[in-house]
């Protein structure tokens, strides 16, 4: 708005006080140039090896797609997409977690002896860092190795430990608003971030299905199109979900 006002003011100085101009939506590009920010949108189909994460940027929240593919090799893990040190460590932690649980996920326990894994986060010209993509990375890896598609309408954010625990993250409000803006209907969040939901408009929370989780087992039950055999519902690990009808947490 300031930029537009300055340009109009210059015209007033040059033409005179009689100058007037109506700024419509169609004329915004004329004054400010082409949009610099392109909001991300959901994938069109459920796919194997692709998980939708959430990131915080200076422009607000953003969807963060994580891709995983495999090929014959000797266990090499390749990370691309201009990932920072912390995010690379998250990817390695996610891989170690998946390897430690491979058989329980229906994955051959020695897969790393003859398989190379490549993890890529698109928009490689943009630097990315932080631990909050941990559960997204792990989900993409499990989906890829177990050949089970992920749900396109699910987005997630959370740090992962080697034991598969889900730890809290920052920028929750911006991330949830970005997911809502992109058409996401289900969001997986760390249980310890429940208090931060108070910062999000009720109108947004009312149309979202929010799952507050403490472990990767819970994440995978929600994010994958079909459940892994070892993760079929049990009474040992209940899922915490925000019920939008009565605004209460149910267990």
Q: How far are the Cα atoms of 29, 30, 134, 184 from residue 35, in angstroms, in the given order?
A: 7, 11, 31, 23
Residue with tokens 């100058």: 19
Question: At the topology level of CATH, where does 50-250 sit?
Answer: Ribosomal Protein S5; domain 2 (3.30.230)
Verify whether residue 245 is a known catalytic residue.
no
pLDDT of residue 82: 92
83 near 121, Cβ under 8 Å? yes
Verify whether residue 175 is a known catalytic residue.
yes
Read off the tokens for 177: 């608003």
Q: How far are the Cα atoms of 43, 95, 118, 129, 239 from residue 184, in angstroms, in the given order?
A: 10, 26, 26, 23, 19
Provide the residue-wise pLDDT of the chain in tens; the chain has 251 residues.
787 788 788 878 878 777 787 877 777 777 776 665 555 667 788 999 999 999 988 778 899 999 999 999 999 999 999 999 999 999 999 999 999 999 999 999 899 899 999 999 998 667 888 999 999 999 999 999 999 999 999 999 999 999 999 999 999 999 999 999 999 999 999 999 999 999 999 999 999 999 999 999 999 999 999 988 655 444 444 455 554 434 433 33
Which residues, in sequence order, are bridge partners of residue 60? 57
Helix, coil or strand: residue 165: strand
Read off the tokens for 49: 């090896």
155 near 179, Cβ under 8 Å? yes
218 contact partners, CB below 8 Å, separation of at least 6: 166, 188, 211, 237, 239
Residue of 40, 175, 215, 221 marked active site: 175
70 near 120, Cβ under 8 Å? no
pLDDT of residue 240: 55
Question: Where exactly are the structural domains of the chain?
Answer: 2-32, 50-250
243 near 249, Cβ under 8 Å? yes
pLDDT of residue 248: 37
Residue of 40, 68, 90, 132 marked active site: 132
DSSP state of 160: E
DSSP state of 1: -
135 contact partners, CB below 8 Å, separation of at least 6: 53, 94, 156, 157, 158, 159, 160, 166, 188, 216, 219
């Amino acid at each position: 708005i300031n930029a537009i006002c300055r340009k109009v003011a210059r015209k007033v100085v040059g033409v005179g006080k009689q100058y007037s101009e109506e700024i419509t939506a169609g004329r915004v590009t004329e004054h400010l140039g082409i949009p610099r920010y392109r909001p991300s949108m959901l994938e069109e189909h459920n796919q194997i090896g692709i998980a939708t994460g959430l990131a915080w940027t200076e422009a607000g929240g953003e969807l963060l797609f994580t891709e995983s593919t495999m090929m014959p090799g000797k266990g090499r893990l390749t990370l691309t997409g201009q990932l920072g040190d912390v995010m690379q460590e998250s990817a390695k932690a996610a891989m170690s977690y998946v390897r430690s649980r491979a058989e329980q996920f229906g994955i051959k326990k020695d897969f790393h002896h003859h398989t190379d894994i490549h993890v890529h986060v698109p928009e490689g010209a943009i630097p990315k860092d932080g631990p909050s993509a941990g559960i997204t990375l792990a989900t993409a890896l499990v989906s890829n190795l177990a050949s089970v598609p992920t749900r396109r309408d699910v987005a997630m954010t959370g740090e992962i430990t080697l034991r598969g625990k889900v730890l809290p993250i920052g920028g929750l409000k911006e991330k949830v608003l970005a997911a809502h803006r992109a058409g996401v209907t289900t969001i997986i969040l760390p249980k310890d971030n429940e208090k931060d939901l108070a910062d999000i408009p009720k109108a947004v929370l009312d149309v979202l299905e929010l799952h507050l989780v403490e472990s990767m087992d819970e994440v995978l039950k929600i994010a994958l199109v079909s459940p892994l055999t070892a993760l079929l519902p049990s009474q040992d690990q209940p899922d915490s979900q925000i019920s939008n009808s009565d605004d209460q947490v149910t267990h």
